[in-house]
């Protein structure tokens, strides 16, 4: 579950500027949901999708071209990093994506199996499923913890702290857990099928990546938003 700081949600009429969400779960704190901003804006979308898309396309043309496919994916990530460096823009998202691309490429290259390019993503989704599920079992829903941390870091008022809000946080966390479970349910059998399913696995990764994440965050926003929007805005500083 990544935050995507590549774009910012514009402050819309009636929205509190200090609570304008941008990127990932920060979008939950906005008065109006912006799907593009939730996944980092169009630039963030391109940076996240392009490395995998290049990998899939190269292997679709030449199924035996594992090394060129890995090299193309890494070059795209490097180009995104260089563009942000030259533009003096935040590097958080592109560095995370670049590190993931390097680890995935090394795993696939060392094993000689194209399917292992996607193994890192499977591990990450499994970890997040365990985290979200564990937070529900401990009755400390991850969505509530992240929103509290975001409010504390931004200096804005905390959301509603009632039992109803806690139930909303739990439901929002369950929705996130369902997203990770769905990814694993679709991608793991394709991964276990081996090289014969590498193209299908790549397509599944693209479809279950940012598009599913945007839809999931929207559902979470619908669930937890009412409690957040009932919270009073912080008093203006003298």
What local confidence, expressed as pLDDT, does residue 13 receive? Answer: 32
What local confidence, expressed as pLDDT, does residue 3 receive? Answer: 39
Tokens of 13: 């009429």
Give the span between the Cα atoms of 186 and 98, in whole angstroms: 24
Q: Over the stretch 68-112, which tens digit does the pLDDT of each residue have?
A: 989 988 998 888 888 877 877 766 666 777 788 888 888 999 888
- Average of pLDDT values for 148-169? 74
Residue 126 has pLDDT above 80, yes or no: yes
Contact 73, 52 (CB under 8 A): yes
What local confidence, expressed as pLDDT, does residue 203 receive? Answer: 92
Give the span between the Cα atoms of 56 and 65, in whole angstroms: 11
Tokens of 136: 């529900």
Give the span between the Cα atoms of 176 and 228, in whole angstroms: 18
Q: Over the stretch 203-225, which tens digit does the pLDDT of each residue have?
A: 999 999 988 998 999 999 899 87
Give the span between the Cα atoms of 144 and 7, in whole angstroms: 24
What local confidence, expressed as pLDDT, does residue 146 receive? Answer: 87
Tokens of 27: 């979008």
**pTM (two decimals):** 0.77
- Average of pLDDT values for 6-23? 36
Task: Kindly indicate the confidence band of residue 161, based on its pLDDT and cuts at 50, 70 and 90.
Answer: low
Nearest to 214 by CA among 5, 41, 35: 35
Alpha carbon distance, N-terminus to C-terminus of the chain: 38
Contact 203, 162 (CB under 8 A): no
Task: Kindly indicate the confidence band of residue 62, based on its pLDDT and cuts at 50, 70 and 90.
Answer: confident
Residue 5 has pLDDT above 50, yes or no: no
Residue 230 has pLDDT above 70, yes or no: no
What are φ and ψ of residue 90, in 5° steps?
Answer: -55, 140
Tokens of 4: 């995507």
The H-assigned helical ranges of the chain are: 35-38, 41-61, 66-86, 92-111, 119-137, 142-154, 163-192, 198-207, 210-229
């Amino acid at each position: 579950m990544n935050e995507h700081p590549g774009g910012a949600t514009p402050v819309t009429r009636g929205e509190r500027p200090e609570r304008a969400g941008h990127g990932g779960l920060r979008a939950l704190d906005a008065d109006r949901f912006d799907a593009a901003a939730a996944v980092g804006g169009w630039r963030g979308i391109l940076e996240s999708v392009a490395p995998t898309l290049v990998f899939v396309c190269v292997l679709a043309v030449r199924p035996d071209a594992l090394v060129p496919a890995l090299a193309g994916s890494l070059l795209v990530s490097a180009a995104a990093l260089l563009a942000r460096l030259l533009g003096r823009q935040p590097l958080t998202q592109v560095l995370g994506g670049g590190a993931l691309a390097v680890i995935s490429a090394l795993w696939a290259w060392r094993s000689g199996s194209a399917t292992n390019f996607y193994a890192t993503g499977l591990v990450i989704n499994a970890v997040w499923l365990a985290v979200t599920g564990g937070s529900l079992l401990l009755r400390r829903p991850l969505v509530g913890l992240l929103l509290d941390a975001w409010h504390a870091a931004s200096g804005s008022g905390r959301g509603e702290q009632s039992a109803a809000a806690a139930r909303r946080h739990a439901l929002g966390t369950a929705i996130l857990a369902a997203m990770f479970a769905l990814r694993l349910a679709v991608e793991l059998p394709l991964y276990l099928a081996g090289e014969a399913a590498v193209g299908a696995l790549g397509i599944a990764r693209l479809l279950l990546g940012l598009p599913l994440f945007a839809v999931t965050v929207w559902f979470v926003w619908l669930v937890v938003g009412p409690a957040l929007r009932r919270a009073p805005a912080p008093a203006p500083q003298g």
